[in-house]
Structure 1
Amino acid sequence: MDMAAVDAALASWRQGDILIDVDIPFVTFGHAGLPLTRDVEIDVGEDPLVDLLTDEPGYVIISQTCDIVRSAQARPYVEISPLVEVSGEDLVNVRAGRMPRYAAIPATAGRRLVADLDRTMVVEKPLLAALPNVARMVGCPTDGDTRRLAQALARKHARFAFPDDFSIAMRPVTKQIVARHGKLSPIGGFLNRVTDIRALSPNWNAPEPEVTLLFLFDTIEDIPADADEHIGVLIEKFAPTGAFTAIGGQSASLETMTAARYLASDSLDFDRLSEPDIDS
């Protein structure tokens, strides 16, 4: 194998491609006295540093396409994240962008496998080039799929840090959204059509911040006539905490919402909002 062969082998690879059933373990470095990775065997020696090897059902390529296809001489590495199985309920939330730890991969949705963005490993390009062609599959078949993966990666690393009191106050609302989404009920149908839920505040550090939850739909026609009723049911679960005494809620469409208002709001992070209080 030489550099030219490696470059030729990876010329058609793209961000979002997946590797299925490959003999590549995921490597995590941990402390021998307290390994957090499950189902691993550890040889405890004098050195506390241990490498924890786990078998994964597959991987997704998360490096940008331009870096993948560049010469291995200039860009020798590719970043990959493992595919993990989630519940059907979590898959719905991952697809909706509500669990930034994960990214939905269309090609593996039938197996409920999503990319675990909390774990990323670097591999050298010759290793990937040596894999059989059948090991790689197109994970994101359309430009829209690829764009959504890129957005998931950006959201993971640039998500807004909501104030702790707001996160605590929002937990009952979050619980209701998760419980009702996907259900065969009027409010479940409403949530199924929501594209994103974002929080908007002119000043998060105000003595009593004004916060509005924006339930976004693709078009005005997508907003149901009873949207305000469903939104009211959800936001009434808000539990006032600290400076956050109440919230408002309204529907909006992406086709009419101004860019300034969109950028001034932040997508709800269901991973963060669902975390238990450390002191509880």
Structure 2
Amino acid sequence: MSVQEQDPGEDIQARLAEWQQGDFTLTCVDLLFLDVPQNGDEPYEAVFDGSAEGCVVISQTCDIVREIGILPNVIVCPLVKIDQQRRAAIEKGQAPRYGLVDGVPDDIVADFSRAMSVSKRLLVDWERKRGCNNEQKCMGFALSLERFFGRFAFPDAFNESLRPLRRAIYSKHAKNSDLGKALRSIREIRVLPHANWDDEKSVPITFFILLEDNADREFEERDTIKNAIADKFDKIAWMAPFCSHENLLYLTTLSDMTAADYLNSYSLDLNTLSFARRFQEG
């Protein structure tokens, strides 16, 4: 087949190969969604929201480049404007609804709470802009999506019990204190329940404190870190049926932790402090 006779589908596939997760366009500023109809005779109404600044692709790269005949659409989220206060919350890991994208002004971010499907034939007609400039940024964007769509729904009583702990960690994380240095030496906090979450009698809790590698810690000694943070965990006022396990804190690293302990525990959203810092440095 000559170049002039090239299958249009092959051309689309070649253009799709230029796209990856996190790429965006400023061409599309309309978001389509369903709402309660103004006309009561219809079950729903299609509405266009034209307030977006553009759209970012959140489909995985492997799905973007997959053959149209197998997977004809991709998923996009709007790019929206935010104020400086919201931007600061995102950088601290306190606003999982939003994701940071390269190549746009600081007051524009991805809004993961709204999404729509678009055909790949339409996607390749948009002007593509690279949204993740290196592998680390690609991983950071993927982790942002995983965090928003994959977070475990802890029981209300558990979340309420940890509210003061969360406030303390968010407020002390950047401080030049022993607690601040200890918190910045933590990579992730995971929760191990020693009973089913819905057990009505008692659910003892252990926190796995996953530390950064030695070179990346501000405190190298584990006992120093444990002593600095223990008071905040000891003061948790548990709501029933939750309580502290006799081994409330267990300090470890990813290389030391067993696969079983990792899979049987649940990531606490406090780990996003460390994640957000790495994303900004990438």
Q: TM class by shorter-chain length? A: 0.7 to 0.9
Q: Which amino acid aligns with 1:22?
A: T
Residues 101 and 128 of structure 1, relative CA distance in 2, 3 Å threshold: same
Structure 1 regions of 5+ residues with no counterpart? Answer: 33-43, 271-280
Matches within 5 A, 1:176-195: 176-195=168-187
Cα 1:104–1:204 change in 2 (3 A) is farther
Contact kept in structure 2, 1:231 and 1:249, CA below 8 Å: no
Q: Summarize the Cα distance change of 1:23–1:147 in structure 2 as closer, same or farther, 3 Å threshold.
A: closer
Q: 1:58 to 1:212 in 2, by over 3 A?
A: farther
Alpha-carbon deviation of 1:65? Answer: 1.3
2:205–2:243 contact (8 Å) kept in structure 1:
no
Q: What does the per-residue CA deviation read over 1:104-147, in whole Å, with 9 as the maximum and x for residues that have no partner?
A: 44x26871544332222111112221123xxx222223333323
Q: Specify the alignment match of 1:90 in structure 2.
A: 89
> Tell me, what secondary structure is at the counterpart of 1:261?
helix
Q: Is the Cα–Cα contact under 8 Å of residues 181 and 191 in structure 1 kept in the other structure? A: yes
Q: Distance in 2 between matches of 1:111 and 1:69?
A: 29
Q: 1:258 to 1:123 in 2, by over 3 A?
A: same
Partner Cα distance (1:30, 1:168) in 2: 33
1:173 deviation in Å?
Answer: 1.0
Q: Does 1:15 align with 2:21?
A: yes
Over 3 Å counting, the alpha-carbon distance change for 1:112 and 1:255 in structure 2 is: farther
1:244 maps to amino acid: F
What secondary structure is seen at the aligned counterpart in 1 of 2:67? Answer: coil
**Residue deviations 1:164-207 (CA, integer Å, cap 9, x gap):** 21111111111222222334444334333432221112324453
The residue number in structure 2 matching 1:256 is: 256
- Aligned position for 1:217: 211
Q: Is residue 177–residue 191 contact of structure 1 (8 Å, CA) maintained in 2? A: yes
Identity %: 31
Flag the structure with larger Rg.
Answer: 2
Query: TM-score scaled to structure 1, two decimals?
Result: 0.76
Shift of 1:231: 1.6
Query: Could you tell me how far 1:8 is from its partner in structure 2?
Result: 2.3
Question: Separation in 1 of the partners of 2:65 and 2:78?
Answer: 21
Q: So what's the TM-score if we normalise by structure 2? A: 0.75
Instruction: Please state if 1:231 is matched with 2:229.
Output: yes
3-state SS of paired residue (1:210): strand
Contact 1:27/1:121 (CA < 8 Å) preserved in 2?
Answer: yes
Q: Which amino acid aligns with 2:32?
A: V
The answer as to whether partners of 2:206 and 2:244 remain within 8 angstroms in 1 is: no
The one of 31, 34, 45 equivalent to 1:26 is 31
- Answer whether contact 2:29 2:55 (CA < 8 A) is retained: no
Distance of aligned partners of 1:213 and 1:103 in 2 relative to their CA distance in 1, 3 Å threshold: farther
Instruction: Give how far 1:266 is off.
Output: 0.8
The amino acid across from 1:245 in the alignment is C
Q: In structure 2, what is the equivalent of residue 126 of structure 1?
A: 121
**Aligned counterparts, 1:1-150, within 5 A:** 2-19=8-25, 21-32=26-37, 44-46=38-40, 47=42, 49-50=44-45, 51-84=47-80, 85=82, 87-94=86-93, 100-105=96-101, 107=102, 111=106, 113-132=108-127, 136-150=128-142
Residues in 1 aligned to 2:145 and 2:98: alpha-carbon distance in whole angstroms: 9
The superposition leaves residues 35-63 of structure 1 with CA deviations (integer Å, 9 ceiling, x where unpaired) of xxxxxxxxx44457331414223332111
Root mean square deviation of aligned Cα? 2.9
- What SS does the aligned partner of 2:69 have? coil
